[in-house]
Structure 1
Amino acid sequence: MTHNTPLSPRPLRHLSDVHRRVVTTAQLRSHGVSTAELTERCRPDGPWRQLLPNVVLLHPGPPTSEERLHGALLYAARESTPGVPVQPTAQSPHRPVYREAMLTGLAALTLYGFSSTPSLLSLDHVDVLVPRLRRIRSTGYVRVVRTPDLPTPRAVTGLPVAPVPRALADAVADLKDPQEVRRLLTEAVRGGHCEPAAVVRELTSAKLLTRPHVVDAVDSLLAEGRAIAEDRLYRMVRTYGLPDPVWNVDLRLPGGPHLAGLDAYWPDQAVAVELDTRAPRQDEDALWSEYARKREHLERLGITVVYITPRKLREAMEQQAAVVRTALMASGDRDPAAYVVVLPR
């Protein structure tokens, strides 16, 4: 039998091409390959090679980037219950399920299309995220990353990949160069991969905000995220034909105290828009209470306040424009608002 001969007794026709090239020793045994035959085929000049513990590459020579990723997942995935094979899913009939394992870190970001990450083949290691209590350790080119709460993976090129914020946190944990960290975080926001708040939550959870170079990058990230959200707000007003507001203003009572800083305000209709860009590093409850107090105060004065998150602007701009338009149209049915002084911020 040559290394190209289908394995008996059950050929692997249900698998994709790469899954015929990278298999586990358990799969080989189930197809009639004995331990002695496996050892013989994986000798230095043999047709197969041991890629990782219990993972075999069914051809000589180095693995491709795709084979390395599949091999890492095969190594880290939890084995199925004996006698109950894990079947391909209806959505991916030619791809086996990797239980309790997903790609994270730089490899995951490269799969998401980040331009500031290395190529897959040039990576020294591939990070794989697993539950904290799994009894598995890093080996070869695979680095095991543990978490108490495994997130729901996204399918990228058919592979289970950690959500971008989590992958970013796992990548940043290993980076010492401030410029590299800043480039990754900036690309995540500019490229529309995720919102700054989600990134900061993951960095906080990973206890990475004790590192000065990460804190500096996060400050730049939040400023970048706010600038992008403001640009989208301008675009929303233009694209959906809303009346021009006054931008970035402070409201004060005549001769009285400061009331609020607003991103957009329509004085004739007494409608205000504020971007909700709360930083998760701050006390969420205290900050939300501050937002609520400000909104309540303004609405007692007859001013309608619409809060819009950067994510809603990115994903549902037309819907947010409709909310603002409704508030503007409803102004004619309300009692006149109190007189306030509008100043540039």
Structure 2
Amino acid sequence: MTQNTPLSPRPPQLLHHPLRSEDVTQRVLSAAQLRARGVSAAQTSAQCLPGGPWQHLLPGVYLLHPGPPTGQERLHGALLYAGRPPVSARRAPADPADAGYGEAIVTGTAALALYGFATAGDLGALHRIDVLVPRTRRLRSTRFVEVLRTASMPSAVRVGAVRVGEVPVAPVERALADAVAGMSDAADVRRLLTEAVRGKHCEPASLVRELSEAKLLGRPAVVGAVDALLAEGRAVAEGRLYAMVREHGLPEPLWNVELRLPGGPRLGGIDAYWPDHAVAVELDTRAPRCGAPGRGDRTQEDPQWSAYAAKREHLERLGVTVVHLTPRKLRDSMDQQATVVRTALMAAADREPAAYVMVLPR
């Protein structure tokens, strides 16, 4: 009698063909992704024996070649470890760029390297990769992965990484704050923050606000760097304001002056003033200092904003039109800001004459 012997399942192709994929997401896989491709836990363990073709990169994450991992492979592995990979690789995620990273977001120096910061160094040379996860996650730091739990997960920015595709990365300001939190050398902090502003990665005010929310402004290594950062940011903003006047054909104003009532009190400094039109432009480069609320608490009144508002109200009661510009507006919509200033200058003829004010150099 012929016995019908069941056929053994065909071994997964993954086990019997040399890996030549240029896609990092195919060279580093989680245990769940391997199971979805037909590779059992026993087969995975056998492949990772000494001298085998695979290796155990991180808990639950495997590198499918015997050589040392590249920076991109370590990055992908860190996200797989900290994220929540899909149980089945046969079911594509809703977002093709997700790659099974779940709620994990790269931050700190690794994120800055992806943004192209020279001071962050090469991704492959980093000793650790910081990954943000929600505070409710029960996950430990391990090997080269530093897990940072947070109650306020930022919205991820998708940044392209070579042969990985788009990687979820914290916004520049948050990545900088997380990187600075692990730094103790004031010179290193200064170089990093200076590059952020000069490289136009972010505005100083938003960066200092993030540092304040992370409660880092009181650290000795940060204090001097922040003062230099704000001075650098103001210089950049003033340069944009000069460019706006020149490039859009606005009348030349009096630059960087102080207004004062004759025989009376000072009215405050102004970045640009057109005395014939009684129009002033003021740059808002304020930023919170030590003692500002932490992340999640934005109810505290900003004393700098109160001073701005009081000065503006006083000037407008005297008939001076104050145009309030931020460095971000000048950077992102200079044409629109030039139109706002031009409109204010044209409207001067239809207004009541302003009170006489003295204009002094500042």
1:275-329 CA-partner distances (Å, limit 9, x unpaired): 0111122664332222222111111111000010011011111110000000000
In structure 1, distance between residues paired with 2:248 and 2:281: 15
Show the counterpart of 2:135. 132
Question: 295, 307, 325: which one pairs with 2:312?
Answer: 295
Cα pair distance change 1:27/1:331, threshold 3 Å = same
Report whether the alignment pairs 1:87 with 2:104: no
Report whether the alignment pairs 1:182 with 2:190: yes
Show the counterpart of 2:258. 250
Show the counterpart of 1:261. 269
Partners of 1:128 and 1:142 within 8 A in 2:
yes
Question: 175, 191, 199: which one pairs with 2:207?
Answer: 199
- The Cα of 1:78 is off from its aligned counterpart by 2.4
Partners of 1:89 and 1:97 within 8 A in 2:
no
Show the counterpart of 1:31. 37
Cα pair distance change 1:255/1:86, threshold 3 Å = farther
Partners of 2:134 and 2:149 within 8 A in 1:
yes
In structure 2, distance between residues paired with 1:86 and 1:301: 67
Question: 74, 80, 90: which one pairs with 1:68?
Answer: 74
Partners of 1:76 and 1:130 within 8 A in 2:
yes
Show the counterpart of 1:161. 169
In structure 2, distance between residues paired with 1:4 and 1:248: 72
Q: TM-score, normalised by structure 1?
A: 0.92
- The Cα of 1:258 is off from its aligned counterpart by 0.5
Report whether the alignment pairs 1:228 with 2:231: no
> Pairwise mapping of residues 91-170 of structure 1 onto structure 2 (< 5 A)?
93=96, 96-157=99-160, 158-170=166-178
In structure 2, distance between residues paired with 1:124 and 1:327: 54
Show the counterpart of 2:325. 308
Report whether the alignment pairs 1:270 with 2:278: yes
- The Cα of 1:84 is off from its aligned counterpart by 10
Cα pair distance change 1:270/1:170, threshold 3 Å = same
In structure 2, distance between residues paired with 1:94 and 1:315: 27
Report the 3-state secondary structure (helix = DSSP H, G, I; strand = E; otherwise coil) of the residue aligned with 1:140. coil
Show the counterpart of 2:5. none
In structure 2, distance between residues paired with 1:257 and 1:37: 83
In structure 2, distance between residues paired with 1:185 and 1:149: 23
- The Cα of 1:245 is off from its aligned counterpart by 0.1
- The Cα of 1:95 is off from its aligned counterpart by 5.2
In structure 1, distance between residues paired with 2:266 and 2:228: 28
Report whether the alignment pairs 1:286 with 2:303: yes
Partners of 2:241 and 2:330 within 8 A in 1:
yes
Report the 3-state secondary structure (helix = DSSP H, G, I; strand = E; otherwise coil) of the residue aligned with 1:249. strand
In structure 1, distance between residues paired with 2:107 and 2:262: 55
Report the 3-state secondary structure (helix = DSSP H, G, I; strand = E; otherwise coil) of the residue aligned with 1:201. helix
- The Cα of 1:89 is off from its aligned counterpart by 4.2
Partners of 2:259 and 2:269 within 8 A in 1:
yes
Report the 3-state secondary structure (helix = DSSP H, G, I; strand = E; otherwise coil) of the residue aligned with 1:121. helix
The one-letter code matched in structure 2 to 1:138 is: S
The one-letter code matched in structure 1 to 2:92 is: Q
Show the counterpart of 2:218. 210
Show the counterpart of 1:341. 358
The one-letter code matched in structure 2 to 1:285 is: D
In structure 1, distance between residues paired with 2:288 and 2:268: 21
- The Cα of 1:30 is off from its aligned counterpart by 2.1
Question: How many pairs were matched up?
Answer: 336
Give the stretch that moved more between structures: 205-214 or 173-182: 205-214
1:44-89 CA-partner distances (Å, limit 9, x unpaired): 2101111100000111111111111100000000244x67977344
In structure 1, distance between residues paired with 2:50 and 2:206: 47
In structure 1, distance between residues paired with 2:246 and 2:112: 34
In structure 2, distance between residues paired with 1:58 and 1:221: 45
1:175-227 CA-partner distances (Å, limit 9, x unpaired): 11111100110011111111111111221122112211201101110111011
The one-letter code matched in structure 2 to 1:301 is: L
The one-letter code matched in structure 2 to 1:337 is: A
Report the 3-state secondary structure (helix = DSSP H, G, I; strand = E; otherwise coil) of the residue aligned with 1:149. coil
RMSD of the alignment, in Å? Answer: 2.2
In structure 2, distance between residues paired with 1:187 and 1:172: 13
